[in-house]
Amino acid sequence: MTPRRVDPGSFEPLPDYREYPPAEMEARAKAFAEKMQRRRTTRHFSEREVSPAVIEHCIRAAGTAPSGAHQQPWHFVVVSDPAVKRSIREAAEEAEREFYTTAPADWLAALEPLGTDAVKPYLETAPYLIAVFAERYGLAPDGSHRTHYYVNESVGIATGFLLAALHHAGLVALTHTPSPMGFLRDVLGRPINEKPVMLVVTGYPAPDARVPRLKRKSLEEIATFIEPRQLNGL
């Protein structure tokens, strides 16, 4: 197979890479892991205002996520308008009521320890709702479609970056995925090529915020390390 030729002019030296001494690298990794261990999902939000600049910076961080063919197939709609939040809550609760009456018993049993139901007051209480949309395909100026690749994976990574950025900034967040959620495209006036993926509810926690008593899986439960000596023995 003939190697594909790439225009050298389309590349540049790796910018702004910072290497740290091994000890500092380990300390930074440990500190970040400990910071993320403190991240918890809550459904109890304060009405306190959050600077728009904080949200903007968090979305900028989300936009640095890698994506298939660098197509960046995501769009974030930031909602702080009370009337729009109310419309989203009304539509979401309608969808949730249908879900809780038709969902399989095992799904409802899995949700029971979290104390969730069809009533979602936090969709109005929290200062910001961030609707995450996935661009299923691109739209050229002439209206033609451009295929996007690895859309779900790319948007998932970007949303993870967003959640980490919000936590790093000192906010709490909740991922809300009403089913179905096509109403988000209608309420927010988004184009047909965009598919709503989730709502990220964010702000300060309420003074009396509570979270379920949960335990995260251990490192041994979530990771397997294949070391060189193991490979040599295969």
Which tens digits make up the pLDDT trace of 199-228?
Answer: 999 999 999 999 999 899 999 999 999 988
Is it the case that residue 150 has pLDDT exceeding 80? yes
**What structural domains does the chain harbor?**
40-206 (3.40.109.10)
Identify the residue with better confidence: 201 or 101: 201
Q: What is the structure's pLDDT at 118?
A: 82
| H-only helix segments in the chain | 22-37, 52-62, 82-102, 105-111, 122-125, 151-169, 183-188, 219-222, 228-232
Q: What is the pLDDT of residues 178-197, one digit of tens each?
A: 888 899 999 999 999 999 99
Say what the pLDDT of residue 106 is. Answer: 87
pLDDT of residue 3: 62
Q: Tell me, letter by letter, the H, E, C secondary structure of 131-167.
A: EEEEECEEECCCCCEEECCCHHHHHHHHHHHHHHHHH
pTM of the model: 0.91
What's residue 95's pLDDT?
A: 87
Q: Measured between alpha carbons, how far is 38 from 171 in angstroms, rounded to an integer?
A: 12
Buried b (16+ CB within 10 A) or exposed e, 95-133: bbeebeeeeeeeeeeeeeeeeeeeebebbebbbbbbbbb
The one-character DSSP state at 103 is S
What's the pLDDT at 30? 98
How far is residue 92's CA from residue 118's CA, in Å, rounded to a whole number?
8
